């Protein structure tokens, strides 16, 4: 009888243990991993945060839970939002659809805490060197600046002037352009975001140096006003800029002042990426909005985390390794493969020109 009892209780014990472990396994599978989203959701750079957010929301990645925080494009605010996400919400990864300065601030801490970060919007070259937990899925200012300088060199423009926003991103663009340009830099002017609505004096200074080409490196809302003021000042030099610094909404807001502008262009914007074209169509159909490059990048970042979560769960080191091993991932924004620094490996960028209300690829 004693033996029967022992067998009976052993059976019950195994059933309970087995049920518990099964339940735990089921819980691991059903509890979504948490991903923090950081970007400027308010302020003059909010467009970058909003685009990234739209893409993330469109991804419909049900196995990840996204917690959104507003960095206001400010390193201090971004860092405190990051601390909230990591300390209170215990997120397992970060999608940064943010400006360069806050991304550098919290990216460095994320590296120390071994939290994987996918950078969607920031383009400063400093981000490349933060560490192996930070991955960027857009092309960097290094690639952008080189493309601008190469184009100016090929056109035979001997004197170049630069006007850039004085922040990490703007300085990064300007440095890369200068590094690769073979002619003479005749003027280098900058402005801070707070005074971006009036750059007339900077333009007057540039005009006195009579450059063959003017490179304008702004981000966000200020681009349209700057283009208008360039035309009003009567500057006739060809204008060059980054395609991501001057998104389509800026071109539309600038109206006739954008005529003749050259920008860099990747495969997504030039409709040479089929998955990108399909994404744009689907996004437009469901939201009535145009899928800007940063929307597609937000979508890809969420999908990458979602895909990796099925393998890694909440294991951050595993997530990092899986991200580092990403090869030829066919995202909406393009093909994603990272180099040893976590930078997107991309083909060379092309140049396009805005003429009569449409883009023409010129190189």
Partner 1 sequence: MSSILAQLLLNGLIAGAIYALVAAGFSLICSVMKFMHFAHGGVVAAGAYFLFMFSQWFSPVPAILLALVTTVLFGVFMDWSVYKQLRKRHASNAVLLIASIGLMILTTNLILIGFGADVKTIPLAQHNPVYTILGARITLIQVVIIATSALLFGLLYYLMKCTRLGKALRAVADNNAIAQTVGINPSRMYLATFILGSALGGIAGMLIGLEQNLYPSMGLSLVIKGFTGAVIGGVTSVHGSILGALVLGMVENLGIWYLPSGYKDAIAFVLLFVFLLLKPEGILGKRFERG
Instruction: Give yes or no for residue 201 binding partner 1 (CB under 8 A).
Output: yes
Which of 20, 252, 345, 362 touches partner 1 by CB under 8 A? 252
DSSP E strand stretches across the chain: 33-39, 64-70, 93-96, 117-119, 134-136, 159-165, 184-191, 213-217, 239-241, 262-265, 329-330, 335-336, 350-355, 358-361
Choose the stretch contacting partner 1; rule: CB under 8 A; options: 25-33, 202-210, 277-285, 339-347: 202-210
What the block records as the tokens of 196 is 């971006």
Which of 86, 250, 306, 346 touches partner 1 by CB under 8 A? 250
> How big is the site for partner 1, counted in residues (CB under 8 A)?
41
Instruction: Give yes or no for residue 192 binding partner 1 (CB under 8 A).
Output: yes
Distance between CA atoms of 141 and 224, rounded to whole angstroms?
A: 20
Distance between CA atoms of 207 and 237, rounded to whole angstroms?
A: 9
**276 touches 255 (CB < 8 A):** no
Task: Provide the minimum distance between the beta carbon of 86 and partner 1 in the complex, in angstroms, as a whole number.
Answer: 25
Distance between CA atoms of 274 and 330, rounded to whole angstroms?
A: 10
Distance between CA atoms of 71 and 48, rounded to whole angstroms?
A: 11
Which of 232, 278, 281, 330 touches partner 1 by CB under 8 A? 232
Q: What angle do CA 189, 258, 190 make, to 5 degrees?
A: 10
In the window 147-186, what residues touch partner 1 (CB under 8 A)? 166
Task: Provide the minimum distance between the beta carbon of 192 and partner 1 in the complex, in angstroms, as a whole number.
Answer: 6
Binding track, positions 39-78, relative to partner 1; x by CB under 8 A:
--xxxx-xx-xx----------------------------
User: Residue 16, CB half-sphere, CA atoms under 13 Å: how many?
Assistant: 6
**242 touches 269 (CB < 8 A):** no
In the window 259-318, what residues touch partner 1 (CB under 8 A)? none
Choose the stretch contacting partner 1; rule: CB under 8 A; options: 95-103, 107-115, 172-180, 201-209: 201-209
Instruction: Give yes or no for residue 335 binding partner 1 (CB under 8 A).
Output: no
In terms of CB distance, is 189 or 343 closer to partner 1?
Answer: 189
Task: Provide the minimum distance between the beta carbon of 323 and partner 1 in the complex, in angstroms, as a whole number.
Answer: 28
Choose the stretch contacting partner 1; rule: CB under 8 A; options: 117-125, 231-239, 258-266, 328-336: 231-239
Task: Provide the minimum distance between the beta carbon of 223 and partner 1 in the complex, in angstroms, as a whole number.
Answer: 8
Q: Per residue in 234-261, is it b (16+ CB within 10 Å) or e — as a string?
A: ebebbbbbbbbbbbebbbebbeebbbeb
β-sheet bridge partners, residue 37: 68, 95
Instruction: Give yes or no for residue 208 binding partner 1 (CB under 8 A).
Output: yes
User: Where on the chain is the footprint of partner 1 (CB under 8 A)?
Assistant: 41-44, 46-47, 49-50, 166, 189-192, 194-195, 197-202, 204-205, 208, 220-221, 223-225, 228, 231-234, 249-250, 252-256
């Amino acid at each position: 009888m004693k033996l029967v009892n022992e067998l009976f209780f052993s059976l019950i014990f195994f059933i309970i243990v087995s049920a518990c472990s099964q339940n735990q396994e089921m819980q691991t599978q059903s509890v979504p991993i948490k991903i923090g989203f950081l970007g400027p959701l308010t302020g003059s750079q909010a467009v970058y945060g909003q685009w990234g957010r739209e893409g993330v929301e469109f991804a419909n990645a049900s196995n990840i839970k996204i917690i959104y925080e507003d960095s206001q494009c400010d390193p201090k605010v971004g860092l405190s939002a990051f601390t909230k996400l990591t300390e209170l919400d215990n997120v397992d990864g970060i999608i940064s659809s943010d400006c360069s300065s806050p991304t550098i601030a919290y990216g460095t801490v994320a590296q120390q805490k071994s939290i994987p970060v996918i950078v969607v919007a920031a383009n400063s070259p400093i981000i490349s060197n933060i560490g192996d937990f930070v991955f960027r899925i857009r092309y960097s200012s290094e690639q952008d600046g080189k493309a601008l300088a190469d184009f100016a060199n090929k056109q035979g423009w001997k004197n170049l002037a630069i006007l850039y926003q004085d922040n990490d991103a703007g300085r990064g663009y300007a440095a890369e352009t200068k590094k690769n340009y073979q002619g003479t830099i005749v003027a280098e002017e900058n402005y801070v975001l707070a005074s971006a609505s009036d750059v007339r004096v900077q333009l007057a200074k540039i005009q006195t140096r009579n450059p063959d080409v003017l490179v304008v490196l702004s981000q966000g809302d200020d681009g349209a006003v700057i283009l208008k003021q360039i035309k009003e000042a009567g500057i006739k030099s060809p204008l060059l800029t980054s395609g991501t610094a001057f998104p389509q909404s800026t071109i539309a807001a600038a109206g006739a002042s954008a005529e003749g502008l050259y920008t860099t262009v990747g495969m997504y914007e030039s409709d040479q990426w089929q998955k990108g074209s399909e994404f744009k169509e689907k996004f437009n159909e469901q939201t009535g909005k145009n899928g800007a490059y940063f929307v597609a990048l937000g979508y890809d970042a969420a999908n990458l985390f979602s895909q990796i979560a099925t393998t890694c769960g909440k294991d951050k080191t595993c997530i990092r390794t899986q991200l580092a091993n990403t090869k030829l991932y066919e995202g909406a924004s393009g093909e994603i493969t990272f180099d040893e620094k976590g930078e997107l490996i991309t083909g060379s960028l092309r140049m396009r020109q805005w003429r009569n209300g449409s883009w023409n690829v010129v190189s």
